[in-house]
Amino acid sequence: MLSTQEVVVAELVIVDSVSKGFNDGADYHGVLNNVSLSLAQGETVALTGPSGSGKSTLLNLMAGFEFADSGQLFLDGESTLHWKDARWSDFRRRHLGVVFQQFNLLTPLNVKDNIAFPLHLLGQEWTPWCDHLLNKLELTNLSHRSVEQLSGGQQQRVAVARALAHQPKLLLADEPTGNLDRQVGLQVIELLRELAAEAGSSILMVTHSMECASFMQRHWQLREGKLLELPQVELPQVALPQVEILQHLSSEPNAYPTQVLKA
């Protein structure tokens, strides 16, 4: 196991010999078994594996929503072993963006206020970067509309913009294109990757799609609690005009998975 002094600061995330399981009465069910990995600043990684293999549990550990039974997690060169709730909250506010399977939008607020919410938590105002997100995701004309009036595709785009509004160091995405059709799903991943690169954000994306995984620089697979790194294969990708993608997204009413970061 690594000591704090041995951690390389260039690595944004280091998971060192982490195990995690759950008690079911007298029985213990292991989910992660001595998992180790590292994620560099600006790096993009896809995480695949069967349902129930621990993918979302691993994301929850990185976000401080769950805690390991053993092993250590280092974030931005700092051990999280003794972090209290206040320290985790500060990290999430400043450095973490999450694209959930559910939108988790704030329904009393309009599109612009939802996107700006991470900035408000930091005491910051709307920025030119946020205008760029609105423009890139074709949300400018919807900025003052209530999110309850949006289609599922439009809400998904708002969720992506909100996750990147404060230019987080780490973006966690849990099946961000789960119920989009193949071609549009691939284009959404392309937009997500492009915007995250502009923001300087690292991506860890859970997906069941090998094609979506091919957009990331690295590919990890969880199986029976063990983590394997797979050789990355660049698959053929079908390009669509961006206006066609956005028109399709706007016409998809609420076509998304409903579980949120749950193994």
Quick: pLDDT tens for 177-235: 875 667 767 877 888 999 999 999 999 999 988 999 999 999 999 998 999 999 876 66
The region of weakest confidence among 8-12, 21-25, 116-120, 140-144 is: 8-12
Res 5 pLDDT > 70: no
Please give the model's pTM, rounded to 2 decimal places: 0.83
Structural domains of the chain, with CATH: 41-67+84-250 (3.40.50.300)
pLDDT in tens, 14-48: 999 999 998 888 888 889 999 999 999 999 999 99
Q: Tell me how far apart the alpha carbons of residues 37 and 14 are, in angstroms, rounded to a whole number.
A: 6
Res 263 pLDDT > 70: no
The region of weakest confidence among 7-11, 26-30, 57-61, 128-132 is: 7-11
Predicted confidence at residue 256, as pLDDT, reads: 31
Compute how many other C-beta atoms are within 10 angstroms of the C-beta atom of residue 147. 20
Banded pLDDT at 2 (limits 50, 70, 90): low
Q: Tell me how far apart the alpha carbons of residues 64 and 44 are, in angstroms, rounded to a whole number.
A: 20
Res 93 pLDDT > 70: yes
pLDDT in tens, 135-158: 999 899 999 999 999 887 788 889
Specify the higher pLDDT residue, 204 or 104: 204
Predicted confidence at residue 191, as pLDDT, reads: 87
